[in-house]
Amino acid sequence: MGSARSETRVFSGIGASPGIAIGTARVTDRSRVIVVEAAVPPEDIPAEVARFTTALSRSRDDLLALKESLAARRGAEHLYVVDAHLLILDDSMLRQGTIDLIERDGINAEAALKKNLDKFKEFFAGIDDDYLRERFGDVETVVERILRHMVGKRHERIDAIDEGKRLIVAHDLSPTDILQMDKGKVVGFVTDLGGRTSHTSILARAFEIPAVVGLETITAEDIDGLPVIIDGTTGTIVVNPSEEMFRDYLRKKQHYDYLEQELLKLKDLPAETQDGHRMRLMGNIEFPEEIPSLTSHGGQGVGLYRTEMLYMNRPELPDEEEQYRAYAAIVENVAPDPVAIRTLDIGGDKLATDLHLEDEMNPAMGLRAIRLSLRRPEVFKSQLRAILRAGRKGTVRLFFPMISGIEEVRSAKAILRECMEELRSADIPFDEEIETGIMIEVPSAVTIADLLAREVDFFSVGTNDLIQYSLAIDRTNEHLAHLYQPLHPAILRSLKTVVDAAHAAGIRVCMCGEMAGEPLYLPILLGLGFDELSMTAVSIPRVKKILRRARRADAERLVARALTFATAAEVESFVKSEISARFSESFD
């Protein structure tokens, strides 16, 4: 054991938040509570139910105390995370579902809660969207908190960590753990579980805390108190680094920090090419906590605000007032820059439980997004009225997802007009001139882009789904990952068709998929003629750096040549060679 502690060990995981951190490992107990099912005699069932509800109450008290503490230290803008966990505690599927299992199966409360959690797991596993699927982690975190109260296991608060450059090592961390981190004491974290799109990882990037997740067994290693280096860009962990490795990573850290500082100097400079062409660089967000990072990285507004989180993990749908408050808070914080709010983009089977929709064989192509909104106009209208009202707080753009034909656009806009009339009749102020757009993410929308462009004020291209549907590739299937090719000739031609159609009709076109935040693709997107790009906040300075070194005329010539190649490999080879020759120093 002593020898293992003195050895240099290297581990690989998922780089969840970029940056290099050097410090001392501090193992924090976030291990899952081990649950053993036990029979409970009928006469003891009421006491078992009471034990569960008491644990629920104590968990609520914990979260309310944390909320008060965070409000004092970080302000009200970060309380959404705690509120989301409080809503999960109140979910009838969680509370009553567990009580029903205790009473029906005659089992202990811990086992009933775990069984109920499995239902949630199955519920989320069917979601094809990475971001939404990983919201299961929030439910799991709340359940663990309840279990710890039932078994008397202490939940150490991260803000109680002692002084020093600590690297938190844990089985898993919750979003509320990240909110408690003081960067003067905690310089990074690593976990056994987690993914890049988890709520915890999103917050780590927003707060610029280096992190590596998904290490599977890092907490089983005896590393508490040892020197550790983490590289959140490559997903590498080094325990007990040699003197040479330490010096090497220290140089890398200094270089990384230097580059970050240099990139941030671009924050207030225009996103403009050398021949004077400007593009608007915006951010994709789903939580208000991401806005400070968007601002500090020079984002010129929100190009994609996902609204799905308001509807998930809760017993009933959010009403118009709750939505209005959420949207208005975002819009006010981003003003005068615009916020593009996307209406619901999820299947009805994953929404609040009172929708009561049937399971589908193929939910990715089923009753989801605009199809669900048109099927449930009362739900749709509640969201539209809230968005229209929030438009009075700044500049709001409204857009509809998964549009496949003209009829859907016209039906959605007809309902929008009904909402406007209802607000007028009730003397409720709203944005009369709100811009309306659609997402282009299915092949049929590309084919009729010229017709769709006559109906709306802007296009927003979602490349993640467009690539998936155009190439018939399940992007979550690791066996098909090599076929997910953003530079496939079919994709490039589709993008050109969309941009040309938008500009012929005199409307803007934005890209909000992952392709927009990859600096390698910037010359292609510039040459194709995209007006706006929306991406994660940390990508904005890197994309801006390439943009400011580029010339639009050169990019247009590059695209013209790229469109002549027959395979994705040929396009990629050509693009890489051109970019390497022109911008090699910009890709450090």
Annotated catalytic residues are: 199, 512
Rounded Cα–Cα distance for residues 18 and 15 (Å): 7
Q: Give me 36's structure tokens.
A: 């053993």
Q: Which amino acid is at 461?
A: V
What pairing do the DSSP bridges indicate for beta strands 236-239 and 227-231?
Answer: antiparallel
Alpha-carbon distances, residue 586 vs 263, 317, 528 (angstroms): 10, 47, 21
Residue 315 in contact with residue 106, Cβ under 8 Å?
Answer: no
Q: What is the DSSP string of 170-205?
A: ES---HHHHHH--TTTEEEEEESS--TTSHHHHHHH
Residue 499 in contact with residue 449, Cβ under 8 Å?
Answer: no
**Which has the closest alpha carbon to 396: 278, 325, 301?**
301
Alpha-carbon distances, residue 478 vs 11, 267, 555 (angstroms): 21, 36, 33
Q: Element (H or E) spanning 281, and its range?
A: strand 280-285
Residue 335 in contact with residue 327, Cβ under 8 Å?
Answer: no
Rounded Cα–Cα distance for residues 258 and 261 (Å): 5
| Helices marked H in 344-487 | 369-375, 377-390, 406-425, 443-447, 449-452, 463-471
Residue 141 in contact with residue 62, Cβ under 8 Å?
Answer: no
Rounded Cα–Cα distance for residues 240 and 168 (Å): 15
Q: Residue 228: helix, strand or coil by DSSP?
A: strand
Helix pair 136-151, 109-125: axis angle to 10 deg = 170
Rounded Cα–Cα distance for residues 130 and 197 (Å): 7
Q: Residue 436: helix, strand or coil by DSSP?
A: strand
Residue 459 in contact with residue 453, Cβ under 8 Å?
Answer: yes
Q: Residue 472: helix, strand or coil by DSSP?
A: coil
Q: What is the DSSP string of 310-337?
A: GGSSSSS---HHHHHHHHHHHHHHHTTS
